[in-house]
Structure 1
Amino acid sequence: MSTILIVEDELLIAAEISQTLVRLGHTPLEPVDSSDEALGVLATQPVELVLMDINISGDCDGIAAALLIRRQFAVPVVFLTARSD
């Protein structure tokens, strides 16, 4: 099915998302926890979807990283967050 990049700074959450994607027949890449790592992966590997935590480390937060990803790689991004606001 789809190759999916998970950008999540909580290891347990990233692992659970990855396992769920495998059960659904997708191919998750090794999760990354920063905007810098995400952009690095996208520059070297084809990805069909990015699951992006809003609050991540790196040069920019998840929202700014998603804008860069859409502009540079034309890959859709779905936001994830544990925050209620």
Structure 2
Amino acid sequence: MSLATVSTCSATTCAFNQNGCTAPAITMNEGATCATFATLDVRAKGEGEGAVGVCHRLECVHNDALSCTASGVDVTAAAACDTFEAR
């Protein structure tokens, strides 16, 4: 199974945002916010696209057995999943 990529991330205060998400895999929690969001004094090392490893938002149409099936995920400045769609 391929992971849904983080298409955009506007959470500029997140340590994983370096002109886009560089976390290997993020977790979206039940509140539809990124649980991987971290405000630290250092930027995480990494290159490439972040992906959604796990999604706890069971009422989302893109959630299939805790995996995100969206073609891409947009994360807002408040670290919320902007791709969420209710079933």
TM-based fold match above 0.5: no
Q: Which has the higher strand share?
A: 2
Q: Which has the higher helix share?
A: 1
